[in-house]
Amino acid sequence: MKCKICGKNAEIQAFGMWLCRDCFLKLFFRRVNKILKKYWHGEKIWVALSGGKDSMALLHYLWENGYPVHGYHINLGIGDYSRSVEDIIRSYTEELGVELLITNLREEYGFSIGEIRRKPCSACGTVKRYLMNKVPRENGAEILVTGHNMDDFLEFFIKNMLGKNYSWSRKLVPYLEREHPKLLPKLRPFYLVGDKEIEIYAKLKGVKYIKENCPLAKLSGWKEILYEIEKKKKNFRYEMILSVWEMAYFFPQEKREIRECKLCGEPTSRDICSFCTLRMRYGKKSTG
Ligand code: SF4
Ligand code: ZN
Give tens-digit pLDDT for 55-72: 999 999 999 999 999 999
Contact 9, 1 (CB under 8 A): yes
Atom of ligand 1 nearest to the CA of 215: 2
Separation of 266 CA from ligand 2 center, angstroms? 6
For residue 19, being part of any structural domain is answered with no
State the DSSP code for 252: P
**So what's the pLDDT on residue 59?**
98
Residue 266 lies in a domain: no
Range of the domain at 35: 31-255
Distance 124 CA to ligand 1 centre (A): 6
206 falls within a domain: yes
Question: How far apart are the CA of 197 and the centre of ligand 2, in A?
Answer: 38
Judge whether 197 and 280 are in contact, CB under 8 Å: no
Q: Closest by alpha carbon to 139, among 71, 61, 208, 210?
A: 71
Nearest atom in ligand 1 to the alpha carbon of residue 214 is 2
Residue whose CA is closest, atom 7 of ligand 1? Answer: 214
Ligand lying nearest the CA atom of residue 109: 2
Q: Given pLDDT bands bounded at 50, 70 and 90, which one contains residue 252?
A: confident
Average pLDDT over residues 185-210: 98
Number of structural domains in the chain: 1
288 confidence band (pLDDT: 50, 70, 90): very low
Cβ atoms < 10 Å from Cβ of 245: 17
Q: Which residues line ligand 1 (CB under 6 A)?
A: 113, 120-121, 124-125, 214, 216-217
Give 69's strand partners: 45
Q: Indicate whether 245 pLDDT > 80.
A: yes
Report which ligand 1 atom has the smallest distance to the Cα of 218. 5
CB 276 within 8 A of CB 263: yes
Give the pLDDT score at 285.
57
Q: Answer whether 156's CB lies under 8 Å from 146's CB.
A: no
150 in a structural domain: yes
Q: Are 205 and 92 in contact (CB under 8 A)?
A: no
Q: Examine residue 23 and state whether it is found in any structural domain, yes or no.
A: no
Task: Look up residue 278 and give its amino acid.
Answer: L
Residue among 13, 9, 8 nearest 27 (CA): 13
Residue 2 lies inside a defined structural domain of this protein: no
Higher per-residue pLDDT: 113 or 118? 113
Return the bridge partners of 144, or none: 46, 186
Domain annotation covers residue 76:
yes
pLDDT at site 256: 82
Residue 254 has pLDDT above 80, yes or no: no
- Specify the ligand 1 atom closest to the Cα of 120: 8
**What is the whole-number distance in angstroms between the Cα of residue 151 and the centre of ligand 1?**
17
Alpha carbon of 76 to ligand 1 centroid (Å): 9
Q: Which ligand is nearest to the CA of 270?
A: 2
Residues by chain with Cβ below 5 Å of ion ligand 2: 261, 263-264, 273, 276
Q: Can you tell me the distance from the alpha carbon of 233 to that of 16, in angstroms, rounded to the nearest whole number?
A: 9
Structural domain contains residue 16 = no
C-alpha–C-alpha distance, residues 226 and 196, integer Å? 12
Residue nearest to atom 3 of ligand 1 (CA): 121
Domain of residue 124, CATH code: 3.40.50.620
Ligand nearest to the CA of 125: 1
- DSSP H or E segment with residue 246: helix 236-248
Span from the CA of 29 to the centroid of ligand 2 (angstroms): 39
- Mean pLDDT lowest among 97-106, 132-141, 198-207, 254-263: 254-263
Please tell me the pTM assigned to this model: 0.95
